[in-house]
Structure 1
């Protein structure tokens, strides 16, 4: 049979050509889709080009998803072409976060990928800064430290101590002692007042707790504020945790027997800015509201910010009969029940060391 009898008709040939073209287009579309998917996944898994280990980004309140991507682009983190924009839009839709990213300051650690960044923003996982109030600081030292905390909005610099105290809720306007030494977290946009308010609330809570659990037989104080004053003196007298309840016991017994406290830290506080690092006899004899050598009872206010251990010591002191103590010179103290024993301890630990 002749081969010419098996030739397709023109219509069949055109149909076959169309099928081949359609097949080719399908193959190309699949290849393009696969390439696009591969490119998109590479984008989601590639760390952002973050140059500094301490880099952050501030997202403004009310910023849209498009605004945030534009901000990332300005900072060199999101690319600049239409394809980059398409990738970010696709990622936002995939994660379902396009309309629920939170304002705030976000850390940009090196190695962070685009999905990880968006998940942080959706969770509001903003940078938590830390501010530590040190046990034994005075309120003046606290204000200086707060003023030097970069990033905190400074709102209190023009206010007096009395005005600051009243602003945080201390009715009598005397702020000393009323802020609990601890580490407080704050985020960008918060103020010095926000930190102070948290520290004051923490102190009130801590003081109420220790006062409620006080040893009522040993602690013959009239109110929690007196416990706060005593705790501040204990705080300044020793840095040793094991000695705080012992020293509190000495002071409480002296108050019980009508003896003056005769404690140097209160004298120093009364001297104020004029204190040069040395206490002289004339300082002990010069009367001030804080001179416990010349005045009976507790001073009128705390002399520092006492920490939790000092608060607990002032309300649950160690039982005993000691009425005196003197520094040994190694950070510890010698405790004595009588004046004669105390004088011998002074001779041993103080006079011989300082001829």
Structure 2
């Protein structure tokens, strides 16, 4: 051993400094690559989610009830609304939007981005369809139309009470229960009737809002002209106050059919003389139930009828009616109407 060499301590080995530097360099490189990769993935996801689009024209897509986010993404990709279901799912989960998507039938506009698609599904504003019921239909007729409407679930098995359904236009999403819409129609009628009853004239010869509904159904069947409803209601109110029979043909027809189907023929003199609970030629006062489902305008007309001295009216040949204060005047109007009928035949 030379004099310049020093003995190494036994049991200790020195680590090469070059190996430590290599490990440190590797870790730094790995972290840099990982950060770069994460940034690249983040940029790719953001681009695919917020700026890209593939839909060239508006598209209607139905998302069935109970569909999970993966299946939703697949449906959207199959329908051409998005082009990358994986990116769609990842961004939804990252933004905690994957639990809030709602089933339904949706309209996706052209050039819609995945971000907007997610917003549409989260808002749950699905396409609404419309069904319109004309004023004056019976409950049987209205339920027949409802059961024939496509895109709804279930069948209404029991016909609601006559006069309990408000005829108007209703909106519903695809797959809505028909029974649920019936409940909505009944609630609308109850609100409309109650509101009108609160604002009624106080001297009406009507004890309850149910009696007002019955009279409104008669007004509805007597005229389809909006400008006449108030005056027709005024005539019936006058007759009720004077304890005169209402003598209205639609009640006679309803007493024969009970609203199950149209009468399909003109009323005869025998019909007018045949007693039924609904025949207002043989009975005083109102019939026991409404004879149809009246609209809002007829209900309001009965609650606030037009002031008139008239006690009679008959068709005038133009689609409206000729009103009269006296029976003699009314009989002249009737003869005129019969001549018109005869000339048409």
Q: State if a TM-score over 0.5 links the two structures.
A: yes
Matches within 5 A, 1:193-272: 193-217=179-203, 219-272=204-257
* TM-score normalised by the chain length of structure 1: 0.78
Question: Aligned-pair distance for 1:98?
Answer: 2.5
1:243 match: secondary structure: helix
Residue in 2 aligned with 1:154?
Answer: 154
Residue in 1 aligned with 2:9?
Answer: none
2:63 match: secondary structure: strand
Matches within 5 A, 1:1-355: 37=43, 41=47, 44-49=50-55, 55-61=60-66, 63-79=67-83, 84-92=84-92, 96-157=96-157, 159=158, 161=159, 165=160, 175-217=161-203, 219-272=204-257, 273=261, 275-354=263-342
Structure 1 residue runs without a partner (length 5+): 1-17, 166-174
Residue in 2 aligned with 1:9?
Answer: none
Structure 2 residue runs without a partner (length 5+): 1-24
More deviation in 186-195 or 222-231?
A: 186-195
1:294 match: secondary structure: coil
Please say which structure displays the higher CA radius of gyration. Answer: 2
CA distance in 2, matches of 1:147, 1:50: 36
Question: Aligned-pair distance for 1:194?
Answer: 0.5
Q: Is the 8 A contact 1:292 1:299 kept in 2?
A: yes
CA distance in 2, matches of 1:131, 1:86: 39
Question: Aligned-pair distance for 1:118?
Answer: 0.9
